[in-house]
Structure formats: C-alpha cells, structure tokens
Amino acid sequence: MNKNYDVVIAGGGAVGAACAYFLSREKDLKIALVDFKKPGNASRASAGGLWAIGESVGLGCGVIFFKTLSKQINEAKANGEEAPRMHPHQLPDFFFDFALSSNNMFPALHEELREKHNIDFKFQETGLKFVMYDEHDRAYADQIASGIPHLSDQVNWLDADQLREEEPYVSPEAIGAMNFTCDHQVSPFLLIDSYTEGARQNGVDLYLNTMVTGVETEGNRVVGVRTDKGTLSCNTMINAGGAWSSQICEWATGEKIPVYPVKGQIVLSEKLPKIMRGCISTSDCYIAQKDNGEVLIGSTTEEKGYDTTNTLAELKGLAQGASKCLPILKEMNIKRTWAGLRPGTRDEIPILGPMDGIEGYINANGHFRTGILCSAITGKLIDEIVRGKETTLDLKPFLYDPKRFEDLDPPFYG
C-alpha cells in the first residue's frame, strides 16, 4: 500500500470524520481518513449534547468543577468562615461564536446527511436546563446570565411550577431552572457514522482499524502519513488525533502541542420510557435521555493520563446526582459505565489551522468537551483552510501559539 492523496486525515472521531465529510462534499479531492479506535477515544464516551451555551458557561461537563466549589462554600458557611467567591467558568466570546455557529449548522446538516446519505444522527431539540436546588445554585445561574447579556433571548427562566410542568419527574426539591433554549442533542455514534458514511459515499478512502504510526517529512514539509498498513503520501495532513494529537503533531512538526487526555466517567441507564423532555445539568452532573430511551449521566473531569478505568466513588457521585434530580431513577437499572478521554487544552479552546514554518500540516484537535458540538464548524473551517479560502470565523485565536498557554494555571480539575 503506497497511495497518493491530496489530504490524509489522522483520526476518525467526530472532528476527523467531520473534516472528511466537509472536504469531500465537492468530490474534487483525493482524501483518506485513517482511524483506529483506541480505548477511551472521546467520541465513544460522548453524551452527544449540543450544548453551545451550556458548555461555554461551564455547565454540562463543567459542573463537576462547580460542585466542588459549592461544597466548599457550604462547608465554609457551616464553619462560619467567609465563603470563597463563585465564578462561573465562562469561555471567551470568540468561543461562543465558534460553538453557536456550529450549533446553528446542525438542523441543515441533519437534513443533508439524511437526504443525501440516508443516515439519521437523531438530532433532537431538547434545550438544556440548569436545575437549581438552593440559593447557591440560583446565585450561580444569575452570574451565568449576567455574563451573557447578548444571549438573553436564548435563556428562559422556569420557576418551580413551570419546571414541574415541563419535567414532571424532576425532584420536588428543585426550585426552578434556567433553560438554554438553543442547546440540543444528537446521537454521537450516529453523527460520526453519518459523517464517515457521507464521506465514503463522496469517495473518501477509509482506512479503518488502521493506526497512525508516524509522519513522513521532507524539510519543513509533511509528505505522508505512516500507518501500520503502509504509508499514505499526501499534500496535506490533518491532525484530528483527539487525546493522541500531541504525539502526531510531534511526528509531523517536531513540536509537542499541549493537548492531553482528560478522563470523563459516564453512567448509562437501561432503556426507559421517556422521563425527560430536555437535557438537564445540575451542580452534580448532566443528564440526557437519548433517542433509544437510555439515560446518560456524566461526567467526571480527571487528569489520569490515558487511564480509562472506572472508579466506584466517582460513579456513585454521578448516580447519586442523577437520582437526586430524577428520583424515579432510583428504581431503575444502571446498565453500563465507561470512561472517555477528552482532548484537553489549558485554555479549553481547540487548536485549529496550520503551524508556523510547517507546510502541509493542519491541526484540528483539542476540542476538549465540545468535539461533537464543534465538529460541524471545524469541518467547515478546515475545508476552507485546505482550499485557501477566507475562513468563516477568524482563525487567529485558535491557531497554535505557545504564548496561548504560557500564563495559564495548572488544570483546575484533579
């Protein structure tokens, strides 16, 4: 096997598959998509939430961090100490634009993939409700709202009665909810499957179960991607290696980008009748009922290298958080638990685009908690970059620049 391609994409998770799909739409490029399902690949452990605002303000996966804080506050209060100040973990405006642009693409993408390629990735309009139990939660929600005044038309407040009407199974202890009306969900496996199948139907060569083992360079130019099944020559390679991107980048450029695995554990219920209308985030966990009835509860945020083991204490935390919000779950079964490795960056912003001084290399990685959500806009941007077009969004804040990560604190999660 020694083939020549215009573009070789290393990594067939949500981002790599989206790149393959967007690049192949005009069917004018020779493209290869190389994928190997390593244990813990993040696409497999995704909830499939399209929580553009939720994730940008630190809900969804981010709530675990908040939970730790709110526990500290309660402890401090109990001890008569001054409570530490709460800060919602809000990402910069350009990330909101990035995430919301991607989010806006999904209804049309859903149509397109269904009509042209006959795969339905189960886009569902759900909203994301931040369910509040006490004044701490409310104060936190208020801070979120005050941080995003320009999005106030996407935020809708529910009091206890309204919440109960919308979500009858939510605990009577809940005092209300803040609902992000534009945050929805998809089936993550089917989304990746539909990008991949769409790409295949558009002529992309799929190298599945094929491991990237190196990158061939000539001077400062990437000329091929080595795999365990041979070398694929290319004009451009795209590094969509998820939590493994750093190694691939080093092979290609000699430089290590700061993308590292961030473990998230997940609890999944048996299939249940519909008990939720929308997706929910609390200060304990997020909860999403998928199209097949399973209720998915996530997720921890742990830096444990490439370890993907499940730990009872963390799983209990998630299960208890879910039962607290939806007491009906107590009688229901947990079917499986697992863990995925998000490709984290210190500033929680993906790394996109070329690297200084290197030809034929493009980053499409570091999507941390939002790979599914941001896959669509990433695919679009990468397609524009490869074709030398002007990009839809300003690429500058996403480019790799060592300075981007210089003054950042060590991770806030442990």
Partner 1 sequence: MSTNNQNVVIVGGGAAGISAAAQLAELGIKSRIIDEATKLGGVVYRGPLRHTEELPHLDEFYQKSQKSLQDKYHNNKDKIDVQLETSVVGPDGTDGLIISDQQKLENVKYDYLILSTGCHERSIPFPGWTLPGIMMMGGVQLQIKSGLVRPGEKMALCGTGPLLPLIACQLHKGGVEVEGVYEASSFSKLAKEAVALLNKPMLTLNGLSMMSYLKRNNVPFHYGWGIVKAEGKEAVESVTVAPYDKEWKADLSKARKANVDSIGIGYGFVARTQITQLLNLEHEYSYQSSYVPKLDEFHRASKDNVYVAGDTSGILGSDGAAFEGQIAAFDIALRMGVIDASTHSSRVNKARKGLQRVKNFRFGFDRFSERQLGMLDLPDDDTVICRCENIKKSQIDAAFERGVKDITSLKMATRAGLGDCQGKVCSAYCYDRFKQAGHQEKMGQLRARFPIEPITFAMMED
Smallest distance from the beta carbon of 219 to partner 1, in angstroms? 34
Per CB under 8 A, the list member of 329, 355, 358, 381 interacting with partner 1 is: 329
- Under the binding rule (CB under 8 A), the answer on residue 269 touching partner 1 is yes
35 vs 383, which CB is nearer to partner 1?
35
- Under the binding rule (CB under 8 A), the answer on residue 272 touching partner 1 is no
Alpha-carbon distance values, 397 to 70, 98, 124 (Å): 31, 11, 31
Contact 297, 63 (CB under 8 A): no
207 vs 361, which CB is nearer to partner 1?
207
- Identify the DSSP state of 295: E
Residue in this structure with the two tokens 């499940």, named with its chain if needed: 310
Smallest distance from the beta carbon of 105 to partner 1, in angstroms? 22
Contact 257, 358 (CB under 8 A): no
- Under the binding rule (CB under 8 A), the answer on residue 24 touching partner 1 is no
65 vs 189, which CB is nearer to partner 1?
189
324 vs 342, which CB is nearer to partner 1?
324
* Euclidean distance between CA atoms 189 and 197, whole angstroms: 12
- Under the binding rule (CB under 8 A), the answer on residue 3 touching partner 1 is no
32 vs 132, which CB is nearer to partner 1?
32
Smallest distance from the beta carbon of 335 to partner 1, in angstroms? 5
Per CB under 8 A, the list member of 167, 197, 284, 347 interacting with partner 1 is: 197
- Under the binding rule (CB under 8 A), the answer on residue 171 touching partner 1 is no
Sign of CA dihedral 203, 229, 221, 395: positive
- Under the binding rule (CB under 8 A), the answer on residue 47 touching partner 1 is no
* Euclidean distance between CA atoms 162 and 183, whole angstroms: 19
CA-closest candidate to residue 178, choices 308, 300, 283: 283
E strand or H helix at 312, and its extent?
helix 312-325
Residues 80-139 that bind partner 1 (CB under 8 A): none
- Under the binding rule (CB under 8 A), the answer on residue 312 touching partner 1 is yes
* Euclidean distance between CA atoms 15 and 207, whole angstroms: 16
Per CB under 8 A, the list member of 65, 338, 412, 413 interacting with partner 1 is: 338
The DSSP code sequence of 203-270 is TPEEETT--EEEEEEETTEEEEEEETTEEEEEEEEEE--GGGHHHHHHHHHS-----EEEEEEEEEEE
Per CB under 8 A, the list member of 4, 74, 146, 209 interacting with partner 1 is: 209
Smallest distance from the beta carbon of 305 to partner 1, in angstroms? 15
* Residues shown for the chain: 414
Tell me how far the alpha carbon of residue 307 is from its chain's centroid: 19
- Under the binding rule (CB under 8 A), the answer on residue 337 touching partner 1 is yes
- Under the binding rule (CB under 8 A), the answer on residue 206 touching partner 1 is yes
CA-closest candidate to residue 9, choices 145, 1, 112, 24: 24
Judged by CB under 8 A, the stretch of 19-27, 94-102, 318-326, 387-395 that binds partner 1 is: 318-326
Contact 239, 245 (CB under 8 A): yes
Per CB under 8 A, the list member of 143, 320, 391, 392 interacting with partner 1 is: 320
Judged by CB under 8 A, the stretch of 33-41, 146-154, 232-240, 272-280 that binds partner 1 is: 33-41
CA-closest candidate to residue 342, choices 299, 384, 311: 299
338 vs 405, which CB is nearer to partner 1?
338
- Under the binding rule (CB under 8 A), the answer on residue 310 touching partner 1 is yes
Per CB under 8 A, the list member of 84, 159, 333, 408 interacting with partner 1 is: 333
Per CB under 8 A, the list member of 4, 26, 37, 116 interacting with partner 1 is: 37
* Euclidean distance between CA atoms 55 and 33, whole angstroms: 28
For Cα atoms 217, 222, 225, give the angle at the middle one, nearest 5 degrees: 85
3-state secondary structure of 89: coil
Smallest distance from the beta carbon of 38 to partner 1, in angstroms? 9
- Under the binding rule (CB under 8 A), the answer on residue 332 touching partner 1 is yes
CA atoms within 13 A on the CB side of 93: 6
Binding site for partner 1 (CB under 8 A): 35, 37, 39, 43-44, 189, 192-193, 196-197, 200, 206, 208-209, 269-270, 292, 309-310, 312, 315-316, 319-320, 322-323, 329-338
